[in-house]
Amino acid sequence: MTTSYQDITQWAALDLSRAIHSRQVSCREVMQATLSQVERLNPSSNAIVSRVDTETLLAQADERDAQLTRGESMGWMHGMPQAIKDLSNVQGLRTTLGSPLMKDFVASEDGLMAQRMKAAGAIVIGKTNTPEFGLGSHTFNEVFGATRNAWDPSKSAGGSSGGAAVALAQRMLPVADGSDFMGSLRNPAGWNHVFGMRPSQGRVPMWPAQDVFIAQLGTEGPMGRHVRDVAMLLSTQAGSASSCPLSLSNGPSVFAGSLDSDPQGQRIGWLGDLQGYLPMEDGILSLCASALTSFSGMGCRVDEARLGMPPEQIWQAWLVWRQALVGPRVAPFLVNPANRAHIKPEALWEHDQSLTLTGAQLMSASASRTRFYQSMLALFEKLDVLAIPVAQVWPFDVNLRWPQSVASRTMDTYHRWMEVVIYATFAGLPSISVPAGFGENGLPMGLALIGKPQGDLDLLKLAHAYEMANQDMIARRPPGV
């Protein structure tokens, strides 16, 4: 039976890998199918940018086929098309960071994540779109424009890995990479009905980087349409690197193994809206609570949980840390004062706020972060996993910069509407967004599961069990796909 291009783009990443290695399909056919899907859908979604020309990609696919003919395989991603988030370097491609100041910068070497995926056999077809400097959970910039939600092009794709999530949902990529500081792997995954995982702090080393000792809140990580694919990509991204002294050294190969497990008896704590502290748009809490019933059906125990520290204290400590880390990233672009006119106001705000911070303030915020981490450890003495909505709002108008209010509460910063995602980040814990379903508005929403310290594998196993129990809902595809 002949395999059509559209059949190829529907396959899970691991199924595609097996088909390539069994010679059921050629790497050239996979590349042609992928580029056909990109040509058909990307003009309206604007997920993939800085594309490599077709002839170059087909030549690389032919070389991968020749390697297989010789009995050589580079790894599980052999011949698989991949697009790298436009915050990470790929040799010979632009790394714009979504900034007009960087629109002509071409990387001279691969970043560590691109190196590892290329070494596993991936062929880079371009970059995925991101907001300027990766700031703000809404993917738009002055270089490429906005990325549109896979389910409704009038809505935001989320961010900052919005291009990656949409490319996945629209079957333009079999698996995708992203990065996460303030929900940037989790929010766009939830808004586009795919899986996005923020690994444990240090699990996926990031290089090049300005600082490798203090700046640990941001991390790269995997996205996929299936949990097995997420885990497999994590096995490629993870692993220690000498350039990153705080990276975790335990072997990443465990993520390439079986995820089958019996979740019966696991204890899940439902954080909800933190007893009314977090404003939520109508329908989000009820949808996520409904998704939790799947865990009850699998034999898990689901109970209400409370953070062991006032959330406003956590937020204030978070603000100090974020400004201390983000401000210096923007600072080099302001050596020339004329550049202020070409940097978005949200980035300027982060930079300007950071100028007033003192070492004493950062140490005080670090002490608050330590107390928060200890409170999370206390929670995990009684619970195995925490659950919370992945966003406080539904995907909003793509033409808005950010929600000015949520449930009639005014947002006092450009990112306060995403406060819900900071708890896993601030404690350095693994978190995965799983599809929760669809609201009455027809838009998708995600449920974030938060695991114990370095409990990435156990979290993936639970998410996999959830996927197996909800296959029909998770298999839904966006219009036109």
- pLDDT on residue 1: 44
CATH of the domain at 436: 3.90.1300.10
Query: d(Cα 368, Cα 319) in Å, to the nearest integer?
Result: 12
Residue 4 within any structural domain of the chain:
no
Number of domains in the chain: 1
Q: What does the DSSP 8-state code read for residue 155?
A: B
Helix ranges (DSSP H) in 340-408: 345-354, 359-379
- 295: in domain: yes
Q: Are 462 and 470 in contact (CB under 8 A)?
A: no
With beta carbons less than 8 A apart as the criterion, state whether 463 and 227 touch.
Answer: yes
The reported pTM is: 0.98
- Whether residue 208 has a cis bond before it, omega within 30° of 0: yes
Q: Per the domain annotation, does 82 fall within a domain?
A: yes
CA-CA-CA-CA dihedral for 127, 103, 204, 57, to nearest 10: 30
**Cα angle 61-80-9, degrees, rounded to a multiple of 5:** 105
User: Is 424 part of any domain?
Assistant: yes
For residue 481, being part of any structural domain is answered with no
3-state secondary structure of 349: helix
* Average pLDDT per block of 10 residues along the chain, 481 residues long: 78 98 98 98 98 98 98 98 98 98 98 98 98 98 98 98 98 98 98 98 97 97 98 98 95 96 98 98 98 97 97 98 97 97 98 97 98 98 98 98 98 98 98 98 98 98 98 97 93
Q: Which two tokens stand for residue 368?
A: 């608050």
Contact between residue 269 and residue 385 where contact means Cβ atoms under 8 Å apart:
yes
Closest CA to 470 of 227, 223, 174: 227
Bridge partners of residue 222, in order along the sequence: 177
- Dihedral sign of CA atoms 307, 309, 312, 317 in order: negative
Q: Does residue 6 belong to any structural domain of this protein?
A: no
Q: Let me know if residue 2 belongs to a domain.
A: no
Within a domain: 283:
yes
3-state secondary structure of 40: helix
**Residue 316 domain boundaries:** 13-474
